[in-house]
Structure 1
Amino acid sequence: MTESPTAVEYVVLEDGVLCITVSTAANGTSLDFDGIEAGTVALRELDPSVGAVLLVGTGPNFCAGGNVRAFAAADDRGAYVRGVAEHLHDFLRLLDRAPVPVVVGVQGWAAGAGMSLVCAADIAIGGPATKMRPAYPGIGFTPDGGMSWRLPRIVGAGRAAEILLTDAVLGGEEAVRLGILARLVGDQVVQEEALRLARTLASGPNSAYAGIKALLHASETSTLSDQLDRETASISAAANGPAGREGVDAFIEKRRPNFSEIGRDAT
């Protein structure tokens, strides 16, 4: 860790968006664990006003992965890397359980744990110059950050094996084609567009988003019949909830729904 939380504001809550800085230019754009730890605390004690989470890097790259120089300097490299992985995984478990959309703006490189964080997002936006690489084989490591679990579910088992084993570099267009990135915008506006999207989601029907995320999570191990039952229960509850009532009433009254005053209610 190279910077104290007083030097960088790692967690900022504004306009319903919880912005978490996961890498900094001063840290060589590698994973900054002051940010990860601050984000872990914020996610564990999630403010009720949070409507979306945005992960950002403050340097030219979103996140260039773990600090390899710190790995090399450790007296017990295995113990050190275990601690790094455990801290990152605590953060990722909480991020996965967050009932709000998670957005990532991927400028420059997302390598190693940075690529894992991109795969953990609900919506990831990049630019034409965005590049991703597992990076683990290059230093003789195996993946962390959930990449071995998420990547096959995004791109398929065979393609994931090729990407990981060959340490493939993926450009922005290929990452969109594979489904890792949702879309590309101009390189100079990646972070701006990611923030705009996060703000839009934060003002939306948060209970519906929570229900959508719950259904998507359940679908990973569900049969179609069980998933249909879950969908029935979820949409019925949504119809009686404040967001559902507002959405339907606004449609009938031919006006834009106002979800921002409803708050983050349960689905």
Structure 2
Amino acid sequence: MSETSRPVLLSIDGPIAEITLNRPDSLNAVNVEMAVALRDVVAELGERKDVRVVLLQGAGRVFMAGGDLNYFRAAEDKRAASDALIQPIHDAVAALSALPQIVVASLHGAVAGAGMSLAMIADLAVAEQGTVFNMAYAKVGNSPDCSGSWSLPRIVGLRKALEIALLSDDLSAEEALRLDLINRVADKGNGGLVAREMAERIAAMSPAAMANIKSLMRRSLDTSLEDQLDAEAKAFADTACTRDFSEALDAFFERRKPEFTGS
């Protein structure tokens, strides 16, 4: 298989890694091969100390139009087909959420079904004008996967999440921004640029600080105040022992921009 024909592409440019969903002829619909490839790529990035930010994007006209319905239609054993696809893509989602690096989703075209779930599990998201979001699962007679039922009510609240999932209405980029499903709306054709600029700003920060902010925020919704305070105290002390923290203090008092090395 040639590099360009792989279902998921990985490129690394300094501290920023780009994951590209690469089935453009199928609107990046996730099949078993893509699920396995995404799982493996995310696992690889989890071991990379040189990568500080991960950009998640889709090749072609859309980010991701959901699951590969042709795969399910052709399957005689629907349960076995579901298990073969769901397990690796769920492993990938869990690994994305747990990455120490910040994950920024760059969204365009259709962001539907599993694509919307993936977009929501990212830490930050930018969508171009004209992007259309749709949970879509109800339209094909099924229920959410890829963490969609976990992320959506946490972002928009239970009542709105039920409306979005049950009715499967299209949501514009502007409506997604209003609902906090994304962080920025970019001009048409500039989504990748805006997401890259965001990634570069994060990559210039202390990696330990970024990782601890992500970890603390993600655990906070399922943690008691007392446990969260303990976690904050440990994370702060651990980060205070890094060279980057000392560099930040020196830069502050010397009125200059800090240069973080990740140590």
- TM-score, normalised on structure 2? 0.92
| 1:185 and 2:186 are equivalent in the alignment | yes
Structure 1 counterpart of 2:150: 149
Structure 2 contact 32–84 (Cα < 8 Å) conserved: no
Structure 2 counterpart of 1:37: 36
Change (3 A) 1:252 1:216: same
Q: Which piece of structure 1 moves more, 250-259 or 3-12?
A: 3-12
Deviations 1:128-166 (A, max 9, x none): 211110111111011100001111111111111111111
Q: Distance in 1 between matches of 2:153 and 2:112?
A: 17
Q: Distance in 2 between matches of 1:204 and 1:37?
A: 31
Q: How many angstroms does 1:180 deviate by?
A: 0.7
Q: Distance in 1 between matches of 2:88 and 2:230?
A: 36
Change (3 A) 1:111 1:4: farther
Change (3 A) 1:14 1:256: same
Residue 145 of structure 1 aligns to a residue in which SS? coil
Sequence identity of aligned pairs in percent?
34
Residue 190 of structure 2 aligns to a residue in which SS? helix
Structure 1 counterpart of 2:10: 11
Residue 56 of structure 2 aligns to a residue in which SS? strand
Structure 1 counterpart of 2:63: 62
Deviations 1:109-139 (A, max 9, x none): 1000000001001000012211110111111
Structure 2 counterpart of 1:87: 88
Deviations 1:9-33 (A, max 9, x none): 7111112122112243123332265
AA in 2 matched with 1:29? N
Structure 1 counterpart of 2:241: 240
Listed as ranges, the gaps of 5+ residues in structure 1 are none
AA in 2 matched with 1:164? A
Q: Which piece of structure 1 moves more, 112-121 or 40-49?
A: 40-49
- TM-score, normalised on structure 1? 0.91
Q: How many angstroms does 1:6 deviate by?
A: 5.2
Residue 257 of structure 1 aligns to a residue in which SS? coil
Deviations 1:70-92 (A, max 9, x none): 21111222321221111110111
Q: How many angstroms does 1:4 deviate by?
A: 5.8
Structure 2 contact 105–125 (Cα < 8 Å) conserved: yes
Q: How many angstroms does 1:41 deviate by?
A: 1.9
Structure 1 contact 138–167 (Cα < 8 Å) conserved: yes
AA in 2 matched with 1:40? R
Q: How many angstroms does 1:34 deviate by?
A: 4.1
Structure 1 contact 52–103 (Cα < 8 Å) conserved: yes
Structure 2 contact 5–22 (Cα < 8 Å) conserved: no
Q: Which piece of structure 1 moves more, 101-110 or 166-175?
A: 166-175
Structure 1 contact 55–103 (Cα < 8 Å) conserved: yes
Q: Distance in 1 between matches of 2:27 and 2:129?
A: 22
CA RMSD of aligned residues (A): 1.8
Structure 2 counterpart of 1:200: 201
Q: How many angstroms does 1:228 deviate by?
A: 2.4
Q: Distance in 1 between matches of 2:142 and 2:15?
A: 38
AA in 1 matched with 2:245? G
Listed as ranges, the gaps of 5+ residues in structure 2 are none
Structure 1 contact 15–199 (Cα < 8 Å) conserved: no
Task: State how 1:168-183 maps to structure 2 within 5 Å.
Answer: 168-183=169-184
Residue 173 of structure 1 aligns to a residue in which SS? helix
| 1:128 and 2:126 are equivalent in the alignment | no
Residue 207 of structure 1 aligns to a residue in which SS? helix
AA in 2 matched with 1:44? A
Q: Which piece of structure 1 moves more, 200-209 or 105-114?
A: 200-209
Q: Which piece of structure 1 moves more, 142-151 or 235-244?
A: 235-244
Residue 188 of structure 1 aligns to a residue in which SS? coil
Structure 2 contact 72–81 (Cα < 8 Å) conserved: yes
AA in 1 matched with 2:158? A
**Equivalenced residues, count:** 260
Structure 1 contact 23–30 (Cα < 8 Å) conserved: no
